[in-house]
Chains A and B, each alone.
Chain A
Amino acid sequence: MTPQEFNKAVEDYSDRIYRFVLKSMDDSERSKDVVQDCYEKLWINVEEIDFSKSKAWLFTTAHNTMIDIIRKDKKIITDSSQNKEIYEQGYTGLNEILHRCLGRLNESWRSVILLRDYEGYSYREIGEITGQSEAQVKINIYRARMAMRNMIGKMEMVV
Chain B
Amino acid sequence: MIINRQNYQIWIIDYYDGQLDNFQAEMLMDFLSKNPDLISEFEYYTELILSADQVNKFDNTSLLHTPEQLTNEQVEHFAIALTENDLDENQRKEITELKKTDPRFRKNINIYEKIKLEPLDTMYPDKSRLFKIPVRRKVIIRLVNTVSAAASVAIITGLFLIFIGNRDESSDMLVSADSQSKYNTGQIEKDRPPLIDITEDLPSYITARSDIIISKPVINTEIILPETLPVNELERIHIKPLEAMGNINLQNTQYQYLLAETLSYPASYPGIYIEKPDMSVREFIAYHIRKDILNDNDPDPERLKAWEIADAGIKGFNKVLGWNMQLETAENESGGLQFISFTSELVKFDHDSKKNEPGL
Which residues of chain B from 117 to 153 have a CB within 8 Å of any chain A CB?
117-120, 122-127, 129-132, 134
Residues of A within 8 A of B84 (CB): 116, 141-142
The residue that B120 contacts in the complex, of A99, A149, A159, with Cβ under 8 A, is: A99
Residues of B within 8 A of A18 (CB): 122-124
Which residues of chain A from 100 to 159 have a CB within 8 Å of any chain B CB?
102, 113-114, 116-118, 138, 141-142, 145-146, 148-149, 152, 155, 159
Contact A145 B130 (CB under 8 A): no
The residue on B at minimum CB distance from A101 is: B115
Residues of A within 8 A of B124 (CB): 14-15, 17-18, 32, 35
The residue on A at minimum CB distance from B85 is: A122
Contact B111 A32 (CB under 8 A): no
The residue on B at minimum CB distance from A32 is: B126
CB distance from A55 to the nearest CB of B (A): 14
Contact A98 B130 (CB under 8 A): no
Which residues of chain B from 39 to 77 have a CB within 8 Å of any chain A CB?
76-77
The answer to whether the Cβ of B20 comes within 8 Å of any Cβ in the partner chain is no
List residues of B whose CB falls within 8 A of some A CB. 76-77, 80, 84, 86, 111-112, 114-120, 122-127, 129-132, 134
Residues of B within 8 A of A84 (CB): none
Contact B119 A6 (CB under 8 A): no
CA distance A38 to B35 in the complex (A): 72
Main secondary structure of the interface of A (DSSP, over half): helix
Main secondary structure of the interface of B (DSSP, over half): loop
The residue on B at minimum CB distance from A96 is: B120
The residue on B at minimum CB distance from A113 is: B117
Residues of B within 8 A of A116 (CB): 84
The answer to whether the Cβ of A39 comes within 8 Å of any Cβ in the partner chain is yes
The residue on B at minimum CB distance from A10 is: B130
Contact A117 B120 (CB under 8 A): no
With known contacts A15-B123, A36-B126, A113-B117, A149–B132 Cβ distance under 8 A: no
CB distance from A36 to the nearest CB of B (A): 7
CA distance A17 to B125 in the complex (A): 12
The residue that A149 contacts in the complex, of B112, B125, B126, with Cβ under 8 A, is: B112
Residues of A within 8 A of B115 (CB): 98, 145, 148-149, 152
Contact B134 A155 (CB under 8 A): no
Produce 1/0 per residue, A48-87, CB < 8 A to B.
0000000000000000000000000000000000000000
The residue on B at minimum CB distance from A3 is: B132
The residue on B at minimum CB distance from A43 is: B132
